[in-house]
Every structure is written in C-alpha cells, then in structure tokens.
C-alpha cells in the first residue's frame, strides 16, 4: 500500500511528466523520436512511451492506481523487440514488480511530492541491453508496405509480394543480419509522418 503520508500516483500524471522529461533529455538530438502508445505485435500490446534513436527503449508505466495483472504478458511482448525497457512504477507495486521483470529492465519509482501537485522519479536501476530479442517480432514493428519496400530495395521480394505480412517479416529476418534489421526498423519508425497510436494496426493489415 501507499504510505499514509503519500499521495497515490495515476497513469496520466506520470506519463505527462515522463514524456516531458524525455523530451528535455533529447531536445537537441534530431535522431531521436518519441512515440506514445507504440504498438507491438500489431497492437497486441502498446508500450506507454518508446524512445527511438540508436536503440529502441520502451517505457511502461504502472501507477499506484494500476494493477500488475497485464504486466507478464506485456513483458513478453516488449522483451521480443526492445533493446532496453524501463518500468516506471508507483511505490505500491515496487517490490512485486521487481520480482516480475528481468534483471536487465530499468526501474524508476514515481512519487508525488509533498506539495501533492508534482510527480518526481527515483531511479532504482538503469536499463541494460536486452540479451534475447526476436528478429521476426522486430520486423513486425514495420507496416507491411515498409517491410516489403525494404525487401524490394535489396532484391529479396520475389515470392512474398502477395503473401501475408508474416511471410514478409520472416523473409526480412532471414535475409538481414540483426544490426541491419534493427537499423532499418528504427529508420522507418523515426521518419514516419503523421504517426498516430492506431496507425500501426490500421496500416499494417494484409
């Protein structure tokens, strides 16, 4: 439970402050894009905030008013694609969350200042490199058209142009090495125009 002298955090207030902090951190970096509600596995899970630059770093928020019920499933999805993940958690859930998430996940506690109107974060541990990603899942962050265009560029689209998107993602994961695949995915994520939370699901069907 939240300490009697503490005010419970909520998801919306944490996200606002986290987003602004990340924007401040990367404001002078033109290679960084910050997304809210980035869909993983075509919307099966949506990470609260994703920072995309030289790596893909996902931030998942669990406030004092949330539960951790969905965290194990979300964790499996995020582990398949992100280079790093940080959990931003209300102190109510800290101990349980630390038992659930992998050691390489970063953890921050979100607290409300004594004034009751300001969120601040305490860093518990920094995120480390994900030791085991899934290249097909990473390719699946692309829209179908984006993935097919990459295959066209490298002369590997024969036989999959009319096939379902999963066949295209599998081909990408087969013909590109880990480093090149990740770079291609980051490039397309960073330079998407008019991105919105439901766009990935809507535009990647097929």
**How is the chain split into domains, by residue range?**
11-125, 135-201
Count of other CB atoms within 10 angstroms of residue 12: 10
* Confidence band of 116 (pLDDT split at 50, 70, 90): low
Of residues 199, 197, 136, the one with CA closest to residue 171: 136
Residue 25: predicted pLDDT: 93
Residues 50-66 have pLDDT tens digits of: 999 999 999 999 999 99
| Mean pLDDT computed over 88-103 | 94
Buried b (16+ CB within 10 A) or exposed e, 144-173: bebbbebbeeeebbeebeeeebeebbbbbb
CATH 3.40.1350 is the classification of domain 11-125 = yes
> pTM of the full predicted structure?
0.88
Residue 123, both tokens? 């860093």
Residue 204: predicted pLDDT: 41
- Which region among 31-40, 58-67, 136-145, 149-158 has the lowest average model confidence (pLDDT)? 31-40
Residue 30: predicted pLDDT: 87
């Amino acid at each position: 439970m939240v300490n009697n002298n503490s005010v419970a955090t909520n998801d919306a207030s944490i996200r606002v402050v986290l987003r602004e902090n990340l924007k401040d951190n990367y404001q002078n970096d033109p290679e960084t894009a910050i997304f809210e509600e980035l869909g993983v596995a075509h919307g099966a899970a949506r990470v609260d905030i994703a920072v995309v630059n030289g790596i893909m770093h996902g931030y998942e928020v669990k406030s004092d008013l949330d539960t951790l019920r969905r965290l194990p499933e979300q964790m499996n999805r995020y582990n398949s694609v992100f280079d790093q993940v940080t959990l931003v958690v209300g102190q109510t859930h800290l101990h349980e969350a630390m038992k659930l998430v992998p050691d390489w996940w970063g953890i921050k506690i979100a607290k409300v200042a004594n004034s009751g109107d300001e969120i601040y974060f305490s860093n518990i541990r920094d995120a480390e490199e994900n030791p085991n990603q899934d290249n097909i899942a990473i390719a699946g962050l692309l829209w179908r058209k984006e993935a097919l265009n990459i295959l066209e560029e490298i002369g590997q689209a024969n036989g999959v142009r009319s096939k379902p998107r999963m066949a295209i993602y599998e081909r990408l994961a087969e013909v590109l090495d880990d480093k090149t695949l990740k770079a291609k995915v980051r490039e397309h994520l960073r330079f998407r125009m008019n991105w919105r939370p439901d766009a990935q699901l809507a535009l990647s069907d097929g």
